[in-house]
Amino acid sequence: MPQADAFHLSGAAARKYQDHSVPAMFAPLAKATVKKLGLCENDHVLDVACGTGALTREIIATLPGRGRVVGADLNQTMIDVASALTPASSHSVDWMAADVTDLPFDDHSFDVACIQQGLQFFPDKPAALAEIHRVLKPGGKLCLTCWSAISEFNNGLAEALERHVSHGAAQKARAPFSFRDGDLITALLDDAGFRVAEHDIITLHRRFEDLRAQVLALPVEQDMRAKGDAVIDRVLKDIADHLAPYDKDGVFIVPQEAHFFAATRA
Ligand SMILES: C[S@@+](CC[C@H](N)C(=O)[O-])C[C@H]1O[C@@H](n2cnc3c(N)ncnc32)[C@H](O)[C@@H]1O
């Protein structure tokens, strides 16, 4: 995923995110999240930092009755991909570009708000949670997921980038895992006026069938390409060596863990 401070993604980056990262991680995480979420008939649901809509689409497919579902993301390019993939449904579905700290909704508009792998990228986390609190109805639910540990794939990738490419590229690979402390997230939620009702860990098993294609779909692609093909080969070899314990008949299957929080708005 993109670095924490530069969220202006090109259309090509948004499409690569949808084609590679969504099936590998964000769609399976969305499925696991919605199973735990327990949506109610006719809920109005806001998916903040929705990206290309991995979780939003799962919500649309699962929500009973005729609810309202909104996917909002800072990047118009992500929203463009999301809206092109909107499934047919009985719900009212809207996509919009919006910053989480300035949401274009009235107070108390939603029953449920979700943030799937977005919190770690928000520069002002208390302001983001305060704004979500504002647009949720009293008693409404906030569901959020955030990686709880750096995966061995990203560890191996970051170490290889540090060795062969640059410190900046290694930092980009680590950025999605930069906010992992569950106690800190609980305290942030508490301070923003939420009561944590559930905190659990979701474990995914990410498959790497084509390591080269999957690595070159990441935001570090340009950093690697700038160093030339020989460096790319060295990075890929180091990652493959690092992942050897996860090799199952030529496919690397690597666990990746996320915090799942469900919290109630006071
Ligand atoms: C790792 S992606 C997750 C996207 C999506 N939730 C998913 O599961 O595929 C993080 C998303 O956070 C969005 N984002 C970052 N800062 C934001 C902000 N201040 N307001 C709204 N969205 C933001 C990015 O544009 C990006 O789409």
Tokens found for residue 154: 């990203």
pLDDT digits (tens, 9 = 90+) for 80-100: 999 999 999 999 999 999 999
Q: Is 46:113 a contact under the CB 8 Å cutoff?
A: yes
User: Could you say which residues of the chain have pLDDT below 70?
Assistant: 1-7
How far, in Å, is the centroid of ligand 1 from the Cα of 73? Answer: 6
Q: Decide: 58 in ligand 1 pocket, CB within 6 A.
A: no
**Phi–psi pair at 161, nearest 5 degrees:** -70, -40
Cβ burial, residue 75 (10 Å; 0-12/13-18/19+): buried
Q: Decide: 73 in ligand 1 pocket, CB within 6 A.
A: yes
How far, in Å, is the centroid of ligand 1 from the Cα of 120? Answer: 9
Q: pLDDT at position 3, please?
A: 38
Domain ranges of the chain: 11-150+178-207+255-265
Q: pLDDT at position 8, please?
A: 80
**Phi–psi pair at 69, nearest 5 degrees:** -125, 130
Among 1.10.10.60, 3.30.930.10, 3.30.300.90, 3.40.50.150, what is the CATH number of 11-150+178-207+255-265? 3.40.50.150
Q: Which atom of ligand 1 is nearest to the CA of 75?
A: 25
3-state secondary structure of 222: helix
DSSP helix, strand, coil percent of the chain (3-state; round to 5) = 45, 25, 30
Angle between the N-to-C axes of helices 229-242 and 152-164, in degrees from 0 to 180, rounded to the nearest 10: 140
Q: pLDDT at position 224, please?
A: 97
Q: pLDDT at position 9, please?
A: 83
